[in-house]
Amino acid sequence: MSIIMFNKSAILSILLVFIPLSIASEYLEWGASITFITAGLAIVPLAAFMGQATEEIAVVVGPNLGGLLNATFGNATELILALVALNEGLIGVVKATITGSIVGNLLLVMGFAMLLGGLRYKEQKFQSLAANVNASLMNLAVIAILLPTAVQYTSSGIEEQTLQNLSVAVAVVLILVYGLTLLFSMKTHAYLYEVGIAAEDESAEEDGANVNLTKWITILLLVTLGVAIESELLVNSLEEATSSLGLTALFTGVILLPIIGNAAEHATAVTVAMKNKMDLSLSVAVGSSLQIALFVAPVLVIAGWLLGQPMDLDFNPFELVAVAVAVLITNSISSDGRSNWLEGTLLLATYAVIGLAFYFHPVVEGLG
Amino acid sequence: MSIIMFNKSAILSILLVFIPLSIASEYLEWGASITFITAGLAIVPLAAFMGQATEEIAVVVGPNLGGLLNATFGNATELILALVALNEGLIGVVKATITGSIVGNLLLVMGFAMLLGGLRYKEQKFQSLAANVNASLMNLAVIAILLPTAVQYTSSGIEEQTLQNLSVAVAVVLILVYGLTLLFSMKTHAYLYEVGIAAEDESAEEDGANVNLTKWITILLLVTLGVAIESELLVNSLEEATSSLGLTALFTGVILLPIIGNAAEHATAVTVAMKNKMDLSLSVAVGSSLQIALFVAPVLVIAGWLLGQPMDLDFNPFELVAVAVAVLITNSISSDGRSNWLEGTLLLATYAVIGLAFYFHPVVEGLG
Amino acid sequence: MSIIMFNKSAILSILLVFIPLSIASEYLEWGASITFITAGLAIVPLAAFMGQATEEIAVVVGPNLGGLLNATFGNATELILALVALNEGLIGVVKATITGSIVGNLLLVMGFAMLLGGLRYKEQKFQSLAANVNASLMNLAVIAILLPTAVQYTSSGIEEQTLQNLSVAVAVVLILVYGLTLLFSMKTHAYLYEVGIAAEDESAEEDGANVNLTKWITILLLVTLGVAIESELLVNSLEEATSSLGLTALFTGVILLPIIGNAAEHATAVTVAMKNKMDLSLSVAVGSSLQIALFVAPVLVIAGWLLGQPMDLDFNPFELVAVAVAVLITNSISSDGRSNWLEGTLLLATYAVIGLAFYFHPVVEGLG
């Protein structure tokens, strides 16, 4: 166990070297592809440290404020990356990152967790009631993306302003629902999530006794700065780099960027699944998707409205199909509160099929 | 309890004043908006009395004939309203009312019932087997609307006559299924629905000992006449009124009219949910939706065919999306046989998102 | 029991007479319609004997190799029929047969099994865990058809070559998943399927003690030859016959051909359901659908690629809707591990609605 931990830390430390490399590549003009790759690799350890710092601070400030902190900044890397892209007017990249984060967390992270956990344990169980509430929340998220897209496709010409007004109104509903979900899971029905919380506390205690609050806040601020900087390098080099690598911007946004932003969460979800803590593993994977769908995406819609960028919930229909399909199969697999290696394989196979479809998809409509 | 009952009766009695007001408005030409609003408010108490009279007669004639009566005339208000609109050729309004009744019963009524019930009881249970059968029936209803619409959208030009023939054939299948469902729930598998029926009998006995059959049949006939009259005022003033109020006919048909027609059922479902009788509460909400989808809608298709009106099951695709989405989230939430306040909130949030989408939807395609 | 068996054999033997009749019709030029009908009827007993021979051989060679044999050749009739049509370039007929086999097995076969079983037993139970895994597998199959179709519909012009490359890649993923599913159901989690296998062994022993391996292999080869021959007669007369019978090729491919190819399986699934062996009954119906979706369809895509035929997974959108709808309602009904006659009726009603929609569907886009 400690060997794995050491290895994980070691890998993250080594990846830090890409921070100076990416900055050097930008200013010495080594080319967009090299800037893109080095900045992408540099974000991985920064995202991990950001997550760790948030958790450490959460332990000190207590479960309520800490839970809120985790719930708000748990996907800070994706949020910063998306805000930078939004500010540059790369609406398509922002939407693709949202799509990819949801799809990647549900299929890739949960798939590996169920597969690797299932290879060790014949059958793994988790709270089906919490899974049921999460399934309904994910369905609401799909509906919230589906309806504005459907409004556009079923009307003969709609003004962008109307679509953005609708999206802002829907975003407010989603943020309210997210807030009520926190109230539900932390206060009124916390017992449904007890298993997960207990396990989380335990793992927190393992790593982080005698926490130094000031230290972690300083680290959080520094790391946040690092992510902002690297996000800008990544976003600025995105278009040139992807075209020179022969990839579409859609594929990059939906498949590559989310893998970079969620690498640390992948590791956590898989590690705890292999310890048979499926509740915690699923809460990392599904919780992260819910946070993207019910908090990050609505915040970006409202931010786009404030920044004067035409950010709305009218997604590329193929992205919508991908999210709907990911939610469908995840809900189908998690509905009975049990998992096995074949179900993990099914999630990964769905991810593979979606990835192939995005790879072969010829259109970059609305991207960039 | 008796205070609430008194208040409900008092409110209904006060609303009766809108019957003469609406007729006055029509003949003294106070304007379409005033006729529309007063006729709308006048229908609320009439619908409530019609429901009460049906139930009272059902008690006297015994469970079998009574159940059939309830199952046939339970949504008589919506049926009359729709027949009047159909006769005027307002096919779009008829379809919008069907959509809105299904969506409103599943999301608004069930949502408030689960929310308000859930605020009083931490967790409420209901028969998951009956919920499962209902979920499959609702899925069939969605399929029956989806397929004719899909036939039109996947073919390059289809004659209205072909579409109507298909719709009439599908309508016959749906009415057969509805009849078999009554056989299932009242005869062969009545034990699955026992809790609900027992509770219903109880509440019936509370209100209606010493029933006078003749009295209630007279009331039913008078009230039915009132609804026909008011429906015509409502339908005739609809187009002018909505446009002067700045609303689209689609929004009015899907959101406003069903709230008027179902107001009494809302009250019943929420009241029994707050007494922790979730089986009865859901049977009112889901049962009403099923009746609309498997009985009222097919009857209207066949009536349209007889009246020479081009009424079919080819709905506005956005209405189809709304119904599908409502059924999806309802089934997702009711599948485990338990409810809590957050699940009620999710239904209401979905209703809010759908309502917003219809409000901002620019197209009135096929309406009027 | 033995009377039913005798009758079944007798009917099959009588149907053999259509083999010489169909050949006579072809060479004596009695007309395409007669060739089509006689060849169709001739395939029914051949398909049944092919299934019987496969099972007999499977008993001799042992459960592992036998299971693999059954899993590979269980739908050999459909595969041969489709390969003949594919070779003639009738891509539309191939896709329609795939659609129809999936829809027919899930709705018609399972519907009759649940209805007739449910008329005898008030409530029938089956392994809900296996049903849950099957539901997820069927969802994956829908996704695999949906995504290539969605890629085409959401892009403004895609080359057939790209679509075929995507389809071949997806086909490889599906065949891998099918292989892993066999590993799961026969090796690592065989206990989930024990009931079904035990029952299957039992029925196998009833019929097939003292098996003669050489005899059955000879029969299998002869019967396979017969199916190839008759398939060619059927495919060659298809277009002329259907148009002279007033049917569209789409309706024939989706509704008529699969009924011919699956007639024997229908009989088996219904017979065992009436003996209350629902696990076995569902494994015949769902297993056959899964085999078509995860093995036969991908093999045909790869065969089309090798034969230079533009066979891909981009289906007629209406076929996609039909498959999705069939999977939706099947999963909804089987999710709770119990069935009754109303649920069987619902499946049949859905099949009726789909059949009506195909009957009235005016377009034969991409067929032939």
Distances (CA, A) of A246 to A90, A239, A286, A352: 19, 11, 32, 19
A48-53: average pLDDT: 78
pLDDT number for residue C232: 81
Output A287 or B174, whichever has higher pLDDT.
B174
Taking any CB pair shorter than 8 Å as contact, residues of chain C touching chain B are: 122, 316-318, 321, 325, 328-329, 332-333, 335-336, 338, 340-343, 345-346, 349-350, 352-354, 356-357, 360-363, 365
Residues ≥6 apart with Cβ < 8 Å to B355 = B255
User: Which residues in chain C are closer than 8 Å to B159, comparing Cβ atoms?
Assistant: 362
Q: Is C333 in Cβ contact with B147 (below 8 Å)?
A: no
User: Which residues in chain C are closer than 8 Å to B158, comparing Cβ atoms?
Assistant: 362
**Distance in Å, alpha carbon of A165 to nearest chain B alpha carbon:** 8
CA dist B319 and B284 (Å) reads: 23
**Distance in Å, alpha carbon of B133 to nearest chain A alpha carbon:** 17
* Residue B201 pLDDT greater than 80, yes or no: no
Residue A208 binned pLDDT confidence (cut-offs 50, 70, 90): very low
Output B162 or C115, whichever has higher pLDDT.
C115
CA dist C265 and C246 (Å) reads: 28
User: Which residues in chain C are closer than 8 Å to A317, comparing Cβ atoms?
Assistant: 150, 153-154
Q: Is B343 in Cβ contact with A136 (below 8 Å)?
A: yes
Please name which of B75, B66, B56, B52 lies closest in space to residue B214, comparing C-alpha atoms: B56
pLDDT number for residue B211: 57
Please name which of B1, B39, B46 lies closest in space to residue B240, comparing C-alpha atoms: B39
Residue B25 binned pLDDT confidence (cut-offs 50, 70, 90): confident
* Residue A131 pLDDT greater than 60, yes or no: yes
Judge whether B41 and B15 are in contact, CB under 8 Å. yes
Q: Which residue of B has its CA nearest to A161?
A: B360
B49-74: average pLDDT: 72
Taking any CB pair shorter than 8 Å as contact, residues of chain B touching chain C are: 128-129, 132-133, 135-137, 139-140, 143-144, 146-148, 150-151, 153-159, 162-163, 165-166, 169-170, 173-174, 176-177, 180-181, 184, 188-189, 331, 335
For every residue of B127-169, DSSP letters joined together read -HHHHHHHHHHHHHHHHHHHHHHHHHHHSS---HHHHHHHHHH
* Residue A67 pLDDT greater than 80, yes or no: no
Q: Which value does ipTM take for this structure?
A: 0.84
**Distance in Å, alpha carbon of A121 to nearest chain B alpha carbon:** 26
A323-337: average pLDDT: 89
Amino acid (1-letter code) at residue C173? V
Please name which of B97, B115, B102 lies closest in space to residue B348, comparing C-alpha atoms: B115
Instruction: Return the minimum-mean-pLDDT range out of A95-99, B250-254, B324-328, C261-265.
Output: C261-265
Please name which of C162, C153, C166, C156 lies closest in space to residue A365, comparing C-alpha atoms: C156
- Tokens representing residue C299 in the block: 């093999």
**Over the stretch A240-280, which tens digit does the pLDDT of each residue have?**
887 887 777 778 888 887 887 777 778 878 888 888 888 88
Please name which of B271, B267, B265 lies closest in space to residue B285, comparing C-alpha atoms: B265
Within chain C, which residues score under 50 in pLDDT?
1-3, 5, 196-209, 364-368
**Bridging pattern class, strands A338-339 and A124-125:** antiparallel
Residue with tokens 């069987």: C344
Q: Is B184 in Cβ contact with C342 (below 8 Å)?
A: yes
Mutation to test the B interface, candidates A127, A145, A151, most B Cβ within 10 Å: A151
pLDDT number for residue A1: 39
**Over the stretch A159-170, which tens digit does the pLDDT of each residue have?**
788 888 889 999
Identify each DSSP E strand in chain C by its residue range.
124-125, 338-339
Q: Is B318 in Cβ contact with A166 (below 8 Å)?
A: no
Q: What's the pTM?
A: 0.86
Q: Is B360 in Cβ contact with A151 (below 8 Å)?
A: yes
Nearest 10 degrees: Cα torsion C336, C130, C284, C211: -140
Residues ≥6 apart with Cβ < 8 Å to C357 = B147, B148, B150, B151, B166, B170, C318, C322
- Provide the 10 A C-beta neighbour count for residue C247: 16
- Tokens representing residue B323 in the block: 């119904």
- Provide the 10 A C-beta neighbour count for residue B249: 19
Subunits in contact with chain A (3 or more CB pairs closer than 8 Å): B, C
Q: Is B350 in Cβ contact with A143 (below 8 Å)?
A: yes
**Over the stretch A142-164, which tens digit does the pLDDT of each residue have?**
898 888 888 887 777 777 888 88
**Distance in Å, alpha carbon of B314 to nearest chain C alpha carbon:** 12
Q: Is C341 in Cβ contact with B184 (below 8 Å)?
A: yes
Pick from B137, B143, B151: which is nearest to C361 by CB?
B151
Pick from C136, C156, C173: which is nearest to A352 by CB?
C173
Q: Is B162 in Cβ contact with C360 (below 8 Å)?
A: yes
User: Which residues in chain C are closer than 8 Å to B192, comparing Cβ atoms?
Assistant: none
Q: Is B170 in Cβ contact with C353 (below 8 Å)?
A: yes
